[in-house]
Amino acid sequence: MKMTVIGSINIDVVYDVPYIVKPGETIHSTGYQTSFGGKGANQAVTMSQLGAQVDFVGCVGQDDFGKRALTNLRDYHISTQHVSEAGVTGNALIQVSETGENAIVLMNGANYHVTPDSVKEAKDAIVDADAVVMQLEIPLESVVAGIELAAENNVPVILNPAPAQKLSNSLLAKVDILTPNETELATLTGMEINTKESIIAACDSLLEQGVTCVVVTLGEQGAYFTDGKESGWVAATKVKALDTTGAGDAFNGALTVGLCKKYSLRKAIDYASKVAGHVVTQKGAQVKIPTDLYPGE
């Protein structure tokens, strides 16, 4: 399983708080830590732990955080041959509440030095991959370059459209698997998402725009999937959430691995849900994944 991730690398600055702070309010945190993050890096770390050979296309800062983030990726056996160094390392200011909910503010930093040219320079890693995985924490034009290169070479594209932004139909038509959460689904479609019916209708409109398959992550409600031929709901793994940061990333990484293992879509979602369920029981976005997590293998 060869995967290429084109995406973000962050340092997460995490505050444990009783609840997510309200506008105009000042509250005390009960804990503080820095850890490795970035949606791209989190997804890559998940895939590598699940047995994939991962190549990363990204950028870290010319600073101590950048060196540490590179070492972290290499410790997970991820190739950093296509990770450049410029500016300051991206970071994320994260509040994690007592119920495990999070709120995140991004500082793009070096992630915005990932240019279409740097993506094209990694062409070999993209065209040789079994799947290319992307998110939206690097400039959109670089995401477009990655999707076009993969699509021209018949490499499946998994796009996690986070943070949410509107995408063109021509781009969506080149995406094989799109994995929005409810908020992202609303932004992508301009539809109000508040019922099961509205989720189904929004996914159908994305299929009409050319996406091959949509998998909507619904937190503790599980996931909904459709490719126009088969569709359904998959329950989430029941756990006590300590920190939901990185759950979506673990889901995306495991879903990609499951599909590369030729699991059915439903089984790959079930697998991804088990992995994400494990991640929320631990603090931090990148957690160790036990090898015996999925008895279905």
User: Would you please indicate which residues are annotated as catalytic (active-site) residues?
Assistant: 249
Q: 264 with 231: CB under 8 angstroms?
A: no
Minimum separation from the CB atom of position 92 to ligand RIB (A): 3
The secondary structure element, H or E, covering residue 41 is helix 39-49
Closest residue to bound ligand RIB by CB: 37
Cβ nearer to ligand RIB, comparing 39 with 82: 39
Site residues, ligand RIB (CB under 6 A): 8, 10, 12, 37-39, 42, 92, 104, 137, 245-246, 248-249, 285
Minimum separation from the CB atom of position 118 to ligand RIB (A): 19
Gap between the Cα atoms of 267 and 264, Å rounded: 5
Q: Is the peptide bond before 163 cis (omega within 30 degrees of 0)?
A: yes
Q: CA 113, 115, 117 angle in degrees (round to 5)?
A: 135
Cβ nearer to ligand RIB, comparing 5 with 149: 5
* Two structure tokens written together for 128: 């040789």
**Residue labelled with tokens 């920190």:** 243
Cβ nearer to ligand RIB, comparing 8 with 72: 8
Minimum separation from the CB atom of position 231 to ligand RIB (A): 26
Minimum separation from the CB atom of position 152 to ligand RIB (A): 28
Give the 3-state secondary structure of residue 30: coil
Q: What is the DSSP letter of 77?
A: T
Residues in the chain: 297
Gap between the Cα atoms of 112 and 92, Å rounded: 14
Cβ nearer to ligand RIB, comparing 94 with 268: 94
Cβ nearer to ligand RIB, comparing 48 with 245: 245
Minimum separation from the CB atom of position 115 to ligand RIB (A): 19
Give the 3-state secondary structure of residue 13: strand
